[in-house]
């Protein structure tokens, strides 16, 4: 590799590193949806759904007063009874609501495009707990649906495992219904007299052009430094 090539590689590394570091330091996570404090004292029974490996979840709308739409964390509250076999698990998914309209002209669209899948299901822990999806960084629309797919739930456990209900959301909004996916079919459901808003929280950030510019400037400054060092060595 020539001296010029080695120098170019170093410069590019500095530019990229400068931009990445600046972006990481400047952006703080913001709560763009929060329904984790107004617990209704009950949860939606997951038994009938989990036995078939179906999914159910909530369509939420993020805080309209913010522009943070790069999701960094999703936390979902659940309850699991003490009588469990140890095989109970759950998988989290996030979908864009860009499918067909439920009723023509309604504007309500079913979840379709998969934006995120937690992959390997997490084991459930007895009592009140959370599923926490963190360390992610991907763009989400203003409104989207997250779901949970419970597996390994049988017998008496069907009455003791589910997602906590809370209402109203403190940040953002959600209708008092939920999505259920059986096989490939999505259905919007309600429970009479009970607002079905699952207890959850979403954190997000927004990339800022000024931060990126700062990172590029840091890289260019590094390029100038390396050029100066080479000139000194040659003189």
User: Is 140 a residue whose pLDDT tops 60?
Assistant: yes
Name the strand (E) or helix (H) holding 127.
strand 127-139
Residue 22 has pLDDT above 70, yes or no: no
Per-domain residue ranges of the chain: 1-27+207-235, 29-206
Task: Give the pairing type, strands 178-182 and 127-139.
Answer: unpaired
Euclidean distance between the first and final Cα of the chain, in Å?
A: 23
Note the pLDDT of residue 76: 97
Mean pLDDT of 143-166: 83
- For residue 18, pLDDT over 60 is answered with no
Contacts of 201 (CB under 8 A, 6+ apart): 31, 33, 34, 35, 36, 73, 74, 75
29-206 placed in CATH 1.10.150? no
Q: Would you state the pLDDT for residue 92?
A: 96
Q: Work out the percent of the chain whose per-residue pLDDT is above 90.
A: 51
Q: Which residue has the higher pLDDT, 108 or 215?
A: 108
**pLDDT, average across residues 9-21:** 42
Listing DSSP states for 40-70 in one string gives EEEEEE-HHHHTTT-EEEEEEE--TT----E
Q: Give the pLDDT score at 68.
A: 95
Q: Are 18 and 121 in contact (CB under 8 A)?
A: no
Weakest mean pLDDT among 1-15, 133-147, 201-215: 1-15
User: In the prediction, which pLDDT does 155 show?
Assistant: 59
Question: What's the pLDDT band for 176 if we cut at 50, 70, 90?
Answer: very high
User: Residue 206: which pLDDT band, with cuts at 50, 70 and 90?
Assistant: confident
């Amino acid at each position: 590799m020539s001296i010029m090539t080695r120098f170019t590689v170093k410069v590019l590394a500095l530019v990229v590193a400068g931009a990445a570091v600046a972006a990481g330091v400047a952006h703080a996570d913001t709560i763009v949806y929060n329904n984790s404090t107004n617990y209704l004292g009950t949860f939606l029974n997951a038994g009938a759904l989990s036995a078939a490996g179906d999914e159910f979840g909530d369509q939420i709308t993020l805080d309209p007063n913010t522009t943070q739409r790069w999701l960094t964390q999703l936390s979902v509250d659940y309850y699991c009874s003490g009588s469990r076999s140890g095989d109970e698990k759950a998988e989290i998914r996030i979908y864009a609501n860009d499918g067909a309209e439920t009723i023509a002209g309604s504007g309500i669209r079913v979840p379709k495009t998969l934006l995120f899948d937690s992959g390997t299901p997490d084991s459930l822990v007895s009592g009140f707990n959370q599923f926490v999806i963190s360390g992610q960084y991907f763009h989400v629309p203003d409104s989207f649906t997250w779901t949970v797919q419970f597996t390994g739930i049988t017998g008496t456990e069907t009455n003791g495992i589910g997602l906590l209900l809370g209402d109203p959301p403190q940040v953002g909004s959600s209708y008092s219904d939920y999505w259920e996916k059986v096989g490939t079919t999505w259905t919007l459901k309600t429970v009479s007299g009970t607002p079905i808003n699952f207890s959850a929280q979403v954190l997000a950030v927004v990339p800022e052009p000024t931060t990126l510019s700062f990172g590029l400037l840091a890289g260019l400054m590094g390029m100038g430094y390396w050029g100066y060092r080479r000139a000194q060595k040659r003189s």
